[in-house]
């Protein structure tokens, strides 16, 4: 562990007791699975929820459930105030310039599709190019494949090396006069690689090319400042940062969002509707929020960000880095096991394969030891193709995980080896 990270842990009093205290806030972690204490290491898929988030959603439905924005009665006004306060919490958390730049979506996937269709489709012409990387989640590949097919644009792919790192020099070669959009992941969900997104953005902007960042795996684990990064769009999901499912965020520069057409039509995204004169659109951010939103989810996400902010994202990152180094050291010593994704800059993900054992079998055996991991291609099939494997077993860490959890994981892996000889 780096000296600075150790200091962060010590200053916060977290070196051995932080996670043990934090995990008490998560009621689901108190249960047993197959008679064993639950060790939840599937956080890259979805994190667990603290009591505060669960209570916030429950309180909304029990005390002031109502639709937002258009009601004049008390419940609607209370709900609207809570919902818009959550938007402001998000703005502050990612340091957007204005709450008009914070669009509520169902998740990072919908946010990326929104940008591809509303921004990309009108910008792209036959022969134009969109650049993505070979480590992208399907959510940052398929929307661009669709819009390229619709417009005649071409998708270009930045390769990765054997460590799972973004090849920056190859990226610079791809940037050119036909490049119209760069869409890149901040942190890889399959490899844990932390990409140099600020450099990626600066290089694109030197060609006047806007950049879309998939931040689903970054926001829970690293400090994200959209103004410091300089990105044009940034997408993330609530459920990966201890918030509810079905809620997410698209950040976009206000002048870009203002010029984009609506992604969906319906209630609340309109200003006027007429059969004679057509329709006009609501102001930002509501232009992109058609229909009744996930109000409880938005409020819950705001509380989740309060929770993370109270601990401090730097303390969380330091704790997770300690777990990553500890786990990597132990797992690397297991004969017949290979870690997939060994980037120098890496988040708390350990993906691995074992000789003669399918990842699904690893996941099943670990489950019977009470350990929840993810097994498969992780919605990143091109990554698996790059490493010539069908999938990996993936353990991913969160603030409530401990070294004891890692020890249980490693004991479970030894059980896999014992059963498969």
pLDDT digits (tens, 9 = 90+) for 223-245: 999 999 999 999 999 999 999 99
Catalytic residue among 38, 78, 270, 379: 379
Q: Is the pLDDT of residue 10 over 60?
A: no
Check if the beta carbon of residue 67 is closer than 8 Å to that of residue 76.
Answer: yes
Q: Is the pLDDT of residue 2 over 50?
A: no
Helices assigned H by DSSP within 140-233: 142-151, 168-174, 197-205, 226-229
Cα–Cα distance for residue pair 10/6, rounded to 1 Å? 6
Q: 142-153, pLDDT tens digit by residue?
A: 999 999 999 999
Region class of 253: left (phi > 0), else alpha (psi between -120 and 50), else beta: beta
Q: pLDDT: is 4 or 189 the higher one? A: 189
148 assigned to active site:
no
> Which pLDDT score, from 0 to 100, does residue 267 have?
86
The domains located in the chain, with CATH, are 3-30+312-414 (3.90.1150.10), 54-309 (3.40.640.10)
Q: Quickly state the pLDDT bin for 323 (edges 50, 70, 90).
A: very high
Cα–Cα distance for residue pair 154/272, rounded to 1 Å? 37
Q: Is the pLDDT of residue 421 over 80?
A: no
Check if the beta carbon of residue 270 is closer than 8 Å to that of residue 289.
Answer: no
Write down the mean pLDDT value for the chain. 94
pTM: 0.94
Q: Quickly state the pLDDT bin for 19 (edges 50, 70, 90).
A: confident
Cα–Cα distance for residue pair 142/154, rounded to 1 Å? 13
> Which pLDDT score, from 0 to 100, does residue 17 have?
55
């Amino acid at each position: 562990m780096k000296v600075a990270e150790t200091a962060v842990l010590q200053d916060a009093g977290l070196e051995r007791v932080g996670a043990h205290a934090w995990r008490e806030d998560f009621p689901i972690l108190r249960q047993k699975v197959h008679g064993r204490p639950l060790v939840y290491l599937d956080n890259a898929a979805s994190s667990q929820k603290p009591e505060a988030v669960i209570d916030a959603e429950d309180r909304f439905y029990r005390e002031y459930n109502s639709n937002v924005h258009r009601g004049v009665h008390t419940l609607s006004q209370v709900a609207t105030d809570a919902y818009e306060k959550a938007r402001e919490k998000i703005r502050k958390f990612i340091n957007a310039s204005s709450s008009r730049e914070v669009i509520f979506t169902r998740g990072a996937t919908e946010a990326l599709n929104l940008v591809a269709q509303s921004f990309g489709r009108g910008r792209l012409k036959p022969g134009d190019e969109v650049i993505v990387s070979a480590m992208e989640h399907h959510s940052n590949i398929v929307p661009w494949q669709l819009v390229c097919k619709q417009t005649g644009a071409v998708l270009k792919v930045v390769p990765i090396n054997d460590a799972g790192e973004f090849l920056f020099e190859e990226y610079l070669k791809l940037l050119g006069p036909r490049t119209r959009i760069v869409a890149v992941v901040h942190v890889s969900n399959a490899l844990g690689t932390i990409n140099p997104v600020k450099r990626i953005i600066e290089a694109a902007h030197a060609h006047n090319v806007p950049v879309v960042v998939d931040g689903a795996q970054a926001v829970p684990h690293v400090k994200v400042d959209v103004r410091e990064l300089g990105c044009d769009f940034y997408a993330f999901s609530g459920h990966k940062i201890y918030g509810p499912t079905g809620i997410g965020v698209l950040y976009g520069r206000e002048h870009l969002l203002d010029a984009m057409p609506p992604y969906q039509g319906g209630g609340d995204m309109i200003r006027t509707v007429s059969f004679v004169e057509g329709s006009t659109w609501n102001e930002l951010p509501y232009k992109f929020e058609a229909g009744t939103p996930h109000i409880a989810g938005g409020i819950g996400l705001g509380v989740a960000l309060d929770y993370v902010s109270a601990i401090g994202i730097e303390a969380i990152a330091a704790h997770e880095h300690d777990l990553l180094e500890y786990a990597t050291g132990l797992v690397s010593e297991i004969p017949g096991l290979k870690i997939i994704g060994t980037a120098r800059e890496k988040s708390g993900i350990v993906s691995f394969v074992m000789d003669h054992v399918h990842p699904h079998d690893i996941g099943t055996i670990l489950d019977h030891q009470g350990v929840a991991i993810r097994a498969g291609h992780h919605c990143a099939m091109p990554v698996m193709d790059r490493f010539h494997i069908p999938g990996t077993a993936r353990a991913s860490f969160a603030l409530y995980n401990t070294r004891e959890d890692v020890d249980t994981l490693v004991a479970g892996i030894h059980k896999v080896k014992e059963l498969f000889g």
